[in-house]
Homo-oligomer: A and B are copies of this chain.
Amino acid sequence: MQKLLMTPGPTTIPELVKLEMAKDIIHHRTEEYSEIFKELSQNLKYVFKTKNPVITLTSSGTGAMEASVTNLFSKGEKVIVISSGNFGNRYIQLAKLYGLDVKEISYKWGESAKPEDLKKVLSEETDVKGVFLTHHETSTGVLNNVSAFGKVLEGTDILFVVDSISGILSNEFKTDEWRVDCAISGSQKGFMSPPGLAFVSLSERAQIAMKKSDMPNFYFSFAKHLGRLSEGQNPTTPAITLICAVNVACQLIQKEGIDKVLDRHKKLQTLTALGIEALGLEFFVKNSEDRGSTLTSVISPKGIDGQEIHKLMQEEGVTIAGGQADYKGKIFRIGHLGDVNEFDVIVTFAALEKVLYKLNYKEFEIGSSLKAIQEYLIKNI
């Protein structure tokens, strides 16, 4: 059996994508590469649902988050950062680090952000230049309503920056329709590819802000990346094999169709929820409408360390994720994104039942999670 990666990134990688990386490398300053990079850039626009350019950085998602601060703002500018977890907090840290005047709207982990809170802060503050929001908060599994926040910003000139690193492709995301000026994602989540690339969409408003910014940038300079995009080139040597890999992954996504990809993730989320309920376990995100289709966060049963569950699952060949920061040991997270199907969820629960039994949590009927999932599958053929 292949080992399963049921984590919120990196995810299992499709065979064609893996084999792409084993091919002879091509040089980046060639027509051959330019054609591939142009195709990828087009594919990214399709995935982001945007008519604006999407640039590709060789870095993790955090590099792109940092770059959105240093490329789109100037020191001292006022921004609102909305945080409902670890990655929202990262944006608070980044914006403060670069001397922005940060107004925080923070929520308890596991809760989603409320558009009316943004409306309220905007009514109290003047001269706000930007709003930062996390689409899907990887640390908790909370999905924020980006569309509703975008509506709050309509009619203003405020930059809307959205971290959708783990959101896009497992959850609906409409960059232009939702009035997002700068959306960020990474290669190792819904894109079913290895980590190492980050993608950044830039609206006209974002491009104007970019020209006004007083902060220094070179490697992460959006202007440099945009400047070479139309010729299918990057300002410095890109991670060529990863670019070829993500391009193949995008071809697979286009072939499946983005709506079917989203439906598949929704279904995997439903199956996971059925399994969790059958085992009598508690969701970390209380409100089911706040849960994304990227991962499911589960509270560790009383007296059981979530890290132990993670560790024993690993020994069964199924990698899940533990909790982050204050929730380390208290929750565990089952990723169900990327190249994952219903049978992978069944295997995950087969392993989870075993592990819970080993750890002396026995408050469930053996096989009940598998039965619940299977019933849904067969009734919905």
Q: Which residues of A contact B (CB under 8 A)?
A: 2-3, 5, 7, 9-10, 12-13, 18-19, 21-25, 27-30, 58-63, 66, 93-94, 97-99, 186, 188, 194-196, 216, 218-220, 236-242, 314, 319, 321
Cα distance, A10 to B62, chains bound together (Å): 25
Q: Is the beta-carbon distance between B30 and A24 smaller than 8 angstroms?
A: no
Interface of A (DSSP majority class): loop
Cα distance, A70 to B314, chains bound together (Å): 39
Can you give 25 contacting A-B residue pairs, CB < 8 Å?
A2-B24, A5-B24, A10-B27, A12-B25, A13-B24, A18-B22, A18-B24, A21-B194, A27-B319, A30-B319, A59-B63, A59-B219, A60-B219, A61-B237, A62-B219, A62-B236, A94-B218, A97-B216, A194-B239, A194-B241, A194-B242, A195-B239, A195-B240, A196-B239, A239-B239
- For the complex formed by this chain, how many copies does it contain in all? 2
Q: Interface centre among A3, A220, A242, by most B CB within 10 Å?
A: A242
Cα distance, A254 to B24, chains bound together (Å): 23
Instruction: Report the minimal beta-carbon distance from A337 to chain B, rounded to whole angstroms.
Output: 14
Cα distance, A153 to B207, chains bound together (Å): 45
Cα distance, A195 to B242, chains bound together (Å): 9
Instruction: Report the minimal beta-carbon distance from A8 to chain B, rounded to whole angstroms.
Output: 10
Instruction: Report the minimal beta-carbon distance from A307 to chain B, rounded to whole angstroms.
Output: 11
Cα distance, A98 to B27, chains bound together (Å): 31
Q: Is the beta-carbon distance between A60 and B238 smaller than 8 angstroms?
A: yes
Instruction: Report the minimal beta-carbon distance from A271 to chain B, rounded to whole angstroms.
Output: 22
Q: Is the beta-carbon distance between B21 and A240 smaller than 8 angstroms?
A: no
Q: Is the beta-carbon distance between B58 and A60 smaller than 8 angstroms?
A: yes
Instruction: Report the minimal beta-carbon distance from A23 to chain B, rounded to whole angstroms.
Output: 7
Counting from the closest, the 4 A-B pairs by CB-CB distance are A196-B239, A22-B22, A21-B21, A194-B241
Q: Is the beta-carbon distance between A240 and B10 smaller than 8 angstroms?
A: yes
Instruction: Report the minimal beta-carbon distance from A197 to chain B, rounded to whole angstroms.
Output: 8
Cα distance, A59 to B186, chains bound together (Å): 14
A10-B25, A196-B239, A242-B242 provided; 16 other pairs, C-beta below 8 A?
A5-B25, A10-B28, A12-B25, A18-B22, A18-B23, A18-B24, A21-B22, A28-B195, A60-B238, A66-B218, A186-B237, A194-B239, A195-B239, A195-B240, A196-B238, A241-B242
Among residues of B, the one whose C-beta sits closest to the C-beta of A335 is: B27
Q: Is the beta-carbon distance between B195 and A238 smaller than 8 angstroms?
A: yes
Q: Is the beta-carbon distance between A58 and B195 smaller than 8 angstroms?
A: yes
Contacts of A21 in B (CB 8 A): 18, 21-22, 194, 241
